[in-house]
Structure 1
Amino acid sequence: MTSAPNHEQKVIAAAQWLADQNEPPAMVVRTIRERFSLSAKEACDACALAQKYRINRRAFG
């Protein structure tokens, strides 16, 4: 039996989702908060992590 994802897992999931978007949504923080049930800080953390994912993908393929 698996438990509900903790906050860190939700932030990572949101970051992965955002990094996969060709065009980020216009109101990205609001979208991430609603879609992944995150706080404003967690949504901002997810945005920062998504940017790191994009940079790593460009650098390392």
Structure 2
Amino acid sequence: MPIGWTTGLCHQSSAAIEIAAAWYRAHFATCEHPVIPALRKRFGLTPLQAIAVLREAQR
């Protein structure tokens, strides 16, 4: 990784992603669909953050 490389996500954003991912892992069976808009609405996320939630939830 080059020096100064960033994901474009701040620490506050990362915390929101972790919280949303934990919620999604616990509620994936009952989460409304489509999932990305549902996560965005529930947690106030950007589209990229909502995608990051799904990635984090799969870990």
TM-score relative to the length of structure 2: 0.71
Which one has a larger percent helix, Structure 1 or Structure 2? 1
Q: Which residue does 2:14 correspond to in 1?
A: 8
Match 2:49 to one of 10, 32, 42? 42
Equivalent residue letter for 2:52: D
Could you tell me which runs of 5 or more consecutive residues in structure 1 were left unpaired when the two chains were aligned: 53-61
Q: How many corresponding residue pairs?
A: 48
TM-aligned CA deviation for residue 27 of structure 1: 1.0
CA RMSD of aligned residues (A): 1.6
- Give identity over the alignment, percent: 23
TM-score, length-normalised on structure 1?
0.69
Off by >6 Å, runs of 4+ in structure 1: none
